[in-house]
Structure 1
Amino acid sequence: MIKFENVSKRYQDGTIAVDSLNLEIKKGEFFVLIGPSGCGKTTTLKMINRLIPLSDGTIFFDEQKISEYDIHELRWNIGYVLQQIALFPHMTIEENITVVPEMKKWSKEKMKERAYELMDMVGLDSKMYAKRKPKELSGGEQQRVGVIRALAADPEIILMDEPFSALDPISRESLQDDMLDLKKNLKKTTVFVTHDMQEALKLADRICIMEKGKIVQIGTPRELVMNPANDFVKKFIGDQAHSPWMADVDLERIIQPLGQGEMLENPAVISVSSSLKQVLDNLSQHEQLIVERDGEWIGRINRKSIIQLLSEEWNEGGLSND
C-alpha cells in the first residue's frame, strides 16, 4: 500500500531528519511510528502526503510514485488528523465534517448521511451535535470531530500526528477506544505518530521504533515486548514488557478449523500474533473470533477455548514474562 525505498530528508543546515528509510505499510494496517523527540517520525508521516518534500529515495502509494500524483488528488485520498484540531469556528459540526466531500461535489443528501453516520459512530448524537459550533464542544468532542472529518470522504489512507496528546487521560483513553472500533469497522490504512508507548501497544498492528532518523525495530506489539532488538528498544518500551496483558499467548494451540467454504457475516477478525489484551478485548464483545495470518483466515477461537488456554499456560508458567 505505502512503500518507502531509501527515503531521506536533509535540511540546508545539514540536519538529517530521516536517513535511508525502507519500510512497507500493508493495506488496512494500523501502523504506528514512535520514538524520542527529533527521531524523524513526524517528518516521515508528512512526506507521505507531500507536506514535506523528500531529499532522496522514493515513496510509493499503490505501486505508483507519490510524485506522479496530482497533489490535490493525492491529498483528497489521504485523511489527516493533527494534535491541533483546527476546526472552522464559524461552521457547524456537520459543515466541518463535510468540507472535503463538498469540494469533491458530493450531493447534499450524501454529505449529510455521511456526517450523521460518522458522528453516531463515535458516540456524538448526530441530531444533537450536527448544528452546534466547535466552541460548544469539549476538547475530546472536538478531537472526535477532527478524526471523523478525516474519514468523511472515505480516503484510502489516514495520517494521524499525535492526535490525542493534548487531551486529559480520560478523554484520551476514550478516543483510543473509539479508534479501536473504527479500526475494526472501517479497516483503513492508518499511519499514526505518538510518543506514548502504551498508546502504541494498544492501537497498533505493527510498530516502527525510530531513533536519529533511522528504524531501530519494526514488529507487532507482542514481538517488540517479547523480543526487543536492543537495549534502546527495551528501555523505550519500559515497564510494558512486564505487563501480563502482553503475555505470549499461543493462539495456534486452540484454533478450530473453519468449515469448507464457510462464510460468516461481518465476522470479528484478529491476528494470530495479537496480545492477550487484544484477544480479551475482542472476546468481551464477540462470542467467537476469526484468526488470520498475513490477511488469510486460518481458523476460529471462542471464549471457552481462550479460558482453557489461559488456565493451561498459567499452570505451565507460560504467562510469566520473567
Structure 2
Amino acid sequence: MIRKENLLRRKLSVVANSTGYWAAPTDMINGKKLNGIHVGKMISSTDACMLGKFVEERFVYRQTFVIRSYEIGPDKTATMETLMNLLQETALNHVSSSGLAGNGFGATREMSLRKLIWVVTRIHIQVEKYSSWGDVVEIDTWVDAAGKNGMRRDWIIRDCNTQKIITRATSTWVIMNRETRRLSQNHNEKIDKLTDETAGRIRSGLAVSLKFEFINTLDDAKMERHGCQLHVNNVKYIGWILESVPVDVLEHYNLTSMTLEYRRECRQSDLLESLTSMKAKVSEESSNKSRDLLSTHLLRMDDDKAEIIRARSEWQSKTTTLEVI
C-alpha cells in the first residue's frame, strides 16, 4: 500500500519540473537533505526557456533548437515552414534578450508607447541541407539598417555537429502604426537601438542577396482558396502558398530557395486565392533528365484580386541531390 504523503511528494516533483524549476528528490525538504546538508537551488524559469546567447561582441544572437517530430514532413526532415518558424523565434528572442522588448510582438518599449509594430516586407531563404528529426541546429541572427526607414535582419543556420552552414536567410522590415495600419516614417532612432555600424565587420560574406525577379503572368496556374483568420502569422502565408503547388512536385522535389514579397495584410474572414505556376529551370550545367524547377506564386484576395504576397521558389529533384543531414 502506497502512503499518501509519498504519492503527494512525487506529484509535486513533476509539477516543479514542468515549470522549469529544479525538482527536489522525495527525501529532501526545503532544498536540504533530511540530514541537513544543503544541495542546490532553483533554476530560473527564464533561463530554462531562453537558451540563446550573444556572441561576436554581442553583435550576433545565437540559439539552438532540436528538430521535433511535429516539425518534419513525410520524409522525416524539417519543412520550410519549420525553418521559417525557427527564424522568427530566434529574432523575437534576440529582441527580448537585448532588454529592449516592449509589450508588442518584437517591438521595443518606445514602439509600444507609440503604438508601432514591425511588419515584414521581404524574406529570402536558401536551403543547402534539410535537417532530420532529432538533429540539433544552431541559428545566428543580427540586424542592420536598410535604407532610410527600414531594418534588415539576417540569419544563418548551422548543423550543430558539423558547424556547416545549411541555410541562409535575409529579410527587410518596416514600422507600421498598429491602429492606422500606415507605415511610420523617420524612425531611425528606433532602428539605431537594434543595430551598430561596427557590426559590419562580422557580417561580411554572411548575407544573402536580395535580388528578386518576378514573372508577370502565371500561366496554367493551380489555384486554391483559403479563409483568412485574425492575426495571421507571416509564416502561415507560406503554407497557403505551398498548398497550390502540384502534389507530384512536393513528392519528388525539395524546396531549395524561396523569396516572398508581402504587399498587404489580410483581415478576418477574408477569402484568399493561392496560385502557383511551374516551369523548368534552364541550366547549361544540368544534364539530368529530371531538371530542376522554378515556380511563381501569388496569394491574392478572392473578391477584388488585390495581391497579398508574390513569391518565387526553386525546386531541386530529390533524385539528384539536396543532401539530408
Q: Which TM class, normalised by the smaller chain length? A: under 0.3
Normalized per residue, which structure has more helix?
1
Q: Output the TM-score relative to the length of structure 1.
A: 0.26
Q: Which has the larger radius of gyration?
A: 2
Q: Output the TM-score relative to the length of structure 2.
A: 0.26
Normalized per residue, which structure has more strand?
2
Q: Whose RCO is larger (CA < 8 A, sep 6+)?
A: 1
